[in-house]
Structure 1
Amino acid sequence: MATTVRAQLRTLTRLRAALWAPGAVAVLALLLMPVYENGYEFVVNYDPQGDAEQFERLYTTALLRYTSGFVCGQLIALAVGAALGRHCVRTAAPARPLSIMATAGLAGTALGLLNLAVVAPAAALRTELAMSIVDVRAAGLDFDPDLLRDPGFWQVLLVGLLSFPLWAVAGAAAGLLLDPARVVPALLAWVLAGGVTAVLVVLWDERLAAVAALVSPPFGSVASPLGTGTNADAVTVALLVAGVAYAAVLGTAAVRVSPGRRRGVAG
């Protein structure tokens, strides 16, 4: 297994998607931070009043800063995984599906850590939660202004990071399962359909954001910090469930598909 994964890593480094992915993740993570910072006012409350709403805004904005770029980063991880799976089918390169998906997972993990490494210093410089935990409790909120001791902060961060390898694995499985010519159109259609569905669901009733996260990973990656910041962490749980489910279902299908349907990919 280790030998075949190393071979797939060498293959991955020769793919065009793997060459542009790290730079794209890093640049988008920084460029999108100002957009993320406006998420609370745009989605939750455009005119926060009183201590409770002001504290909630500051906390939610901090979560959004530390997860800046996670949406695009996870989609790029999905694309890298799909490119690897597609390449293995198209070139008839002998490899086992598990090795291909493991390699994609490692690539997704690396992209997630890169995203965090880029945004964490910038987020730390732009974030100062000056209120005390006593002030927060008095306002009826339950987060810790010391983010390193706040469970919600770590929940959002860890689920977001875990989503990178999960979507990379799902992408690799999709690349193995689909005809090479249909991989890109199919994934683009899925992302677009999921995003539109999520927006329609949330416009219908914002309390259904957790449901929207299940069908739209991009929405879930934004809704996770927004939900946690407003005491609705079910969205983060839904994002994790969706990532695990897609990776598990597609991965199992890729392993069980007859080798004859994957030229050169061993069963």
Structure 2
Amino acid sequence: MPTVPDAATLRRVMSHPAVWSVLVAALLGWAAMPFNNGHYEYWINFDPQGDGQQQEWVQTRRIFRYTSGVLCGQLLALVAGVALSRRHRHAVALTIAVPLGAVLAVVTVALAFPFAWVLESSRPAAVPAFDDPILTRVLLGELAAYPLYAAAGVGLGILVRRSARLRKRKRLLVPLFLLFWTVTTLTGLVQDDEYDAWPWLLWAVPFVAAGTAIALAGLSADAWEFPPVPVGDWGRSATLALLASAAAYALILNLLAVTRRRGDRPPADSPAAGSGPTADAHP
């Protein structure tokens, strides 16, 4: 007869990044919907008038509804990668992080789509999400970045763990990083018609590119003209910048983690940590 896991075992299971990150991803997809649903009226145009502005409002709200939780989920994938680097050796953490990033992407979409469809179906002549090529392209690009963020998180976590100076400043660095993510993500989300911030930001900061891709997927036409005049590229350049920069950070951070001298805090599953041999330790 199977035994019921005790409380300590359940705590260990729930504390693993592969478990709690999936639960958080599900929560984010639901919690972000009110913010995504009201983004256009709050940040872009609180009173759309005329056919052009009404069409822009419908398209932008549609994009934001179906991408609810995606930007927060990308940050979660990065954090999960960092957490994995604290529990496993580098190669093992990467092996777990990349598929975990894909799982988080699937969970985010699985939670966002039903809510988005309910909201969209209340509008006459609602079109299925995958019949919209712009929405499909930007969504697939955003989701493809999840494994890259998770891999980058592994490299970042190892670099922090091996640096005594960074470890001492961890309590300061975490809120600063969250502030940086908030500011750069909003920088992308408030783009209108075409990208109008510093050009290097789009390619150097993936958070900016991720927000810009979603924003310009619905806001690449000048709705104040009659008829509306397309002026942007519907997020194509931003999506490319997101994937290129996220891949570059994942590669660079992990290469630095490999080449950097090991610090005095081995991961939990390393024999040097005093826990004995484990399943993923070298024989």
- TM-score, normalised on structure 2? 0.70
Residues 183 and 172 (structure 1), Cα distance of their counterparts in 2 relative to 1, 3 Å cut: farther
Gaps of 5+ in 1: 1-11, 89-94, 133-144
Which position in structure 2 is the counterpart of 1:57?
57
Letter of the structure 2 residue corresponding to residue 69 of structure 1: G
Letter of the structure 2 residue corresponding to residue 228 of structure 1: A
Query: Of 123, 128, 136, which residue of structure 2 is paired with 1:154?
Result: 136
Which structure's residues are more often helix, by fraction?
1
1:76-104 C-alpha deviation (Å, 9 max, x unpaired): 1111110111233xxxxxx4x23321311
Counterpart check, 1:112 vs 2:105: yes
Greater relative contact order, per chain length (Cα 8 Å cut-off, separation 6+): 1
The percent of aligned pairs where both chains have the same amino acid is 30
Which position in structure 2 is the counterpart of 1:228?
217
Alignment of structure 1 residues 231-246 onto 2, 5 Å: 231=220, 232=232, 233=235, 234-246=237-249
Which position in structure 2 is the counterpart of 1:189?
176
Letter of the structure 2 residue corresponding to residue 246 of structure 1: Y
Maintained 8 Å contact 2:81/2:150: yes
Which position in structure 1 is the counterpart of 2:69?
69
In the alignment, the residues of structure 2 paired with residue 127 and residue 191 of structure 1 have an alpha-carbon distance, to the nearest angstrom, of: 32
For residue 207 of structure 1, give the secondary structure of its aligned residue in structure 2.
Answer: coil
Alignment of structure 1 residues 17-28 onto 2, 5 Å: 17-28=17-28
**Which stretch of the first structure deviates more once superposed, 166-175 or 22-31?**
22-31
Shift of 1:74: 1.4
Which position in structure 1 is the counterpart of 2:224?
none
Counterpart check, 1:44 vs 2:44: yes
Shift of 1:256: 2.9
1:36-90 C-alpha deviation (Å, 9 max, x unpaired): 01112222222222212211111111111111111221111111110111233xx
In the alignment, the residues of structure 2 paired with residue 36 and residue 22 of structure 1 have an alpha-carbon distance, to the nearest angstrom, of: 21
Alignment of structure 1 residues 1-267 onto 2, 5 Å: 15-88=15-88, 95=89, 97-128=90-121, 130=124, 147-179=129-161, 181=167, 185-196=172-183, 207-208=196-197, 211-214=200-203, 216-231=205-220, 232=232, 233=235, 234-258=237-261, 263=266, 264=270
1:165-204 C-alpha deviation (Å, 9 max, x unpaired): 111111111111122635675454334235435657969x
Letter of the structure 1 residue corresponding to residue 157 of structure 2: G
Maintained 8 Å contact 2:149/2:246: yes
Residues 185 and 242 (structure 1), Cα distance of their counterparts in 2 relative to 1, 3 Å cut: farther
**Which stretch of the first structure deviates more once superposed, 215-224 or 74-83?**
215-224
- TM-score, normalised on structure 1? 0.74
Letter of the structure 1 residue corresponding to residue 109 of structure 2: L
For residue 46 of structure 1, give the secondary structure of its aligned residue in structure 2.
Answer: coil
Which position in structure 1 is the counterpart of 2:9?
none
In the alignment, the residues of structure 1 paired with residue 134 and residue 219 of structure 2 have an alpha-carbon distance, to the nearest angstrom, of: 11
Residues 225 and 82 (structure 1), Cα distance of their counterparts in 2 relative to 1, 3 Å cut: same
Shift of 1:122: 1.4
Which position in structure 2 is the counterpart of 1:138?
none
Structure of higher CA gyration radius: 2
In the alignment, the residues of structure 2 paired with residue 213 and residue 256 of structure 1 have an alpha-carbon distance, to the nearest angstrom, of: 28
Residues 217 and 41 (structure 1), Cα distance of their counterparts in 2 relative to 1, 3 Å cut: farther
For residue 48 of structure 2, give the secondary structure of its aligned residue in structure 1.
Answer: coil
Letter of the structure 2 residue corresponding to residue 164 of structure 1: Y
For residue 47 of structure 1, give the secondary structure of its aligned residue in structure 2.
Answer: coil
Maintained 8 Å contact 1:211/1:238: no
Letter of the structure 2 residue corresponding to residue 38 of structure 1: G
Which position in structure 2 is the counterpart of 1:5?
none
In the alignment, the residues of structure 1 paired with residue 213 and residue 198 of structure 2 have an alpha-carbon distance, to the nearest angstrom, of: 9
Shift of 1:150: 2.6
